[in-house]
């Protein structure tokens, strides 16, 4: 079940946390880090149409032995209209994987996102425009 707390709206830098998933059943193998990254790459910023991983929005990706996953991410700006949507989507995408338990995605504001955080792939995409 997804749970959202402290929504960030109107440019205010409030805590924002999204939860998804349920405890991983005993004996189930954990998903790989590559699988977690691939799931995050399915979540795109709808204004830019680049995934959150290649945008450099994911700052921390930790997986515990019990399969739970903790993610810290940011958005391009405190005024970002999808600040409340992207963490929900990231939590749901990762939680949908086999081998993942509970997922927590927290918005962080430091360091502030900049275009320099784009992956090489994303930079190449922007050069096409």
pLDDT tens by residue, 45-87: 887 888 999 999 999 999 999 999 999 999 988 788 777 889 9
Domain ranges across the chain: 3-127
Angstrom distance (rounded) from CA 8 to CA 14: 5
pLDDT at 14: 62
Task: Tell me which residue of 43, 97, 103 sits closest to 69, measured CA to CA.
Answer: 103
- Find the angle CA(77)-CA(80)-CA(15) to the nearest 5 degrees: 75
Looking at the predicted structure, is the pLDDT value of residue 128 above 60? no
Instruction: Please state, rounded to an integer, the average pLDDT across all residues of the chain.
Output: 86
Q: How far apart are the first and last CA of the chain?
A: 39
- The CATH code belonging to domain 3-127 is 3.30.300.130
pLDDT at 65: 92
pLDDT at 96: 97
pLDDT at 12: 55
């Amino acid at each position: 079940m997804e749970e959202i707390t402290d929504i960030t709206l109107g440019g205010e830098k409030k805590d924002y946390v999204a939860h998804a998933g349920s405890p991983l059943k005993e004996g189930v193998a954990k998903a790989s880090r590559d699988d977690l990254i691939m799931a995050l790459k399915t979540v795109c910023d709808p204004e830019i149409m680049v995934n959150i991983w290649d945008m450099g929005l994911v700052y921390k990706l930790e997986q515990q032995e019990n399969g739970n996953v903790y993610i810290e991410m940011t958005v391009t700006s405190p005024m970002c209209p999808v600040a409340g949507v992207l963490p929900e989507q990231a939590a749901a995408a990762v939680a949908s994987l086999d081998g993942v338990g509970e997922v927590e995605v927290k918005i962080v504001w430091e360091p502030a996102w900049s275009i320099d955080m784009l992956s090489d792939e994303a930079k190449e995409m922007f050069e096409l425009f």
